[in-house]
Amino acid sequence: MYIIENDLLVVKIQARGAELTSIYHKEMELEYMWEGDPTFWSKHSPVLFPIVGGLKNNTYFYNNRAYQLPRHGFAREKEFSVTEESSNRITFHLGHDEETLLVYPFQFGLKIIYTLSENDLTVSYEVKNLQNDELYFSLGAHPAFKIPLLRNTSYEDYYLEFNHKENSPSWPVSPDGLIEEEPIPFLKNDSTITLQKELFLHDALVFKDLQSHSVSLKSTKHAHGLDVDFKGFPYMGIWAAKNADFVCIEPWCGIADSVQADQQIKNKEGINKLEKGESFKRQWKLALR
């Protein structure tokens, strides 16, 4: 387990999956991350790479060959190395190996940087193409935030608020983890989602066309919460395991296959492409209060 710290925050990240596991605010004596109770969901904040969500029949095709990947890819189960470390910043790295090349025939470098500044945590990603031809990938975040944050409050006392009013449907997820053909009307000139556990009985809320670039977790009972700035991430998932005391706010550069996907990775919705030597950079930022 690795720890970065400043005067206000203590953040813990494990090498397996370069996964954020704890954000503790010293002054407020608050833990913000889900503890990973395996009864509900054993993860905290997995990194989604080189796919987001599921593949149709768990399979994609590239250069006339079939490859299999599990939901959300393999990065979350791999051991990352630490390449740089200071008191308030740490850099993790994952590269291709014999095992990854069997399921993902691309030579890549994935760098994840966690940086603290006062009440903020910034999570930065860099994907680099290390081969002589194109590389295709998706990338996403999956942080789970503890609800309720304070004792004597309930799940239903919390809500999400986008920084713009939205007119955005939610795209339903099939039992196989694929995106259905028809969206369901959801946000109608509204910026808030009241959190109820019933929201997630049929998997995540999936948004493709949000105008907002940030979303806040707030409570009707107190002033504590957090803001997630996800500028540059075109997709957003909101999810919780059944009856669990958390909510995941998931910025994605990519999305699960649709039920009608042709399974060609070049044609996959939301796929990112890098030419030889190119890099892709994104970051999301968490402000705590």
Average pLDDT over residues 180-193: 96
Query: How far is Cα 36 from Cα 44, in angstroms, rounded to an integer?
Result: 6
Domain extent at residue 87: 2-288
pLDDT for 19-34, tens place per residue? 999 999 999 999 999 9
The DSSP result for 74-106, as a single string, is SGGGSBPEEEEE-SSEEEEEEE--HHHHHHS--
Token code pair at residue 92: 């993790």
pTM exceeds 0.85 for this model: yes
pLDDT for 216-268, tens place per residue? 999 999 999 999 999 999 999 999 999 999 999 999 999 999 999 999 999 99
pLDDT for 44-90, tens place per residue? 999 999 999 999 999 999 999 999 999 999 999 999 999 999 999 99
**Sorting pLDDT into bands at 50, 70 and 90, what band is 166?**
very high
Token code pair at residue 90: 């740490």
Instruction: Write the CATH number for 178.
Output: 2.70.98.10
How many domains in the chain?
1
pLDDT for 107-133, tens place per residue? 999 999 999 999 999 999 999 999 999
